[in-house]
Copies of this chain bind each other. A is one copy, B any other.
Amino acid sequence: MTDSPPAGDGPLGIGLLCFIVQRTMEDRVLADLAAAGFDDLTMAQSRVMARIGPQGTRVTDLAEQARVTKQTVVTTIHQLAGAGYVRRIPDPSDARARLVVFDQRGLAALEIARKTEAAVHEEWTRHLGRRETERLHELLTKLREITDPYR
């Protein structure tokens, strides 16, 4: 029973509520990406790609952030690279490592994703109110301090 079991008829737990919110954002972004022509992106690929930083990110770090193993990331990055979304460059600071960076197609997709995310955030802000949305963001950020093992 991963997450809060709603087997009781009481209110949903925070974990389950977070699932709903997170999944909604995922679906929205993925839908908009598909509509914009990036219809070859899967959810698994998207989840990994979303963790790539502007200066590039190591496979190991991507795995930690996305909560999957390195093997999974390697596979996913291979797919993304083949589709022109990312490419790998040597890490200047470590000859063992390689940095996964956005390629042209990836940057274009990133732009769409950013816009969608902003739009969804706006929707949420309209529903909750600006002040309350900020509060929610603050609380989640504070909660991250003890829930994100890789901070």
Report which A residues bind B (CB closer than 8 A).
Answer: 1-9, 11-26, 29-30, 33, 43, 46-47, 49-54, 67, 102, 109-110, 112-114, 117, 120-121, 123-124, 127-128, 132, 135-137, 139-148
Interface of A, helix, strand, loop or mixed by DSSP: helix
Contact of A53 among B7, B18, B50, B127 (CB under 8 A): B7
Q: Which residues of B contact A146 (CB under 8 A)?
A: 123-124, 127
Identical chains in the assembly: 2
Report chain B residues within 8 Å CB of A1.
Answer: 29, 33, 46, 49-50, 109-110, 112-113
A49-B1, A127-B146 known; A137+B11 contact, CB < 8 A: yes
State whether A14 touches B139 (Cβ < 8 A). Answer: no
**In the complex, which residues of chain B have a beta carbon less than 8 angstroms from the beta carbon of A112?**
1
Are B14 and A25 touching (Cβ within 8 A)? Answer: yes
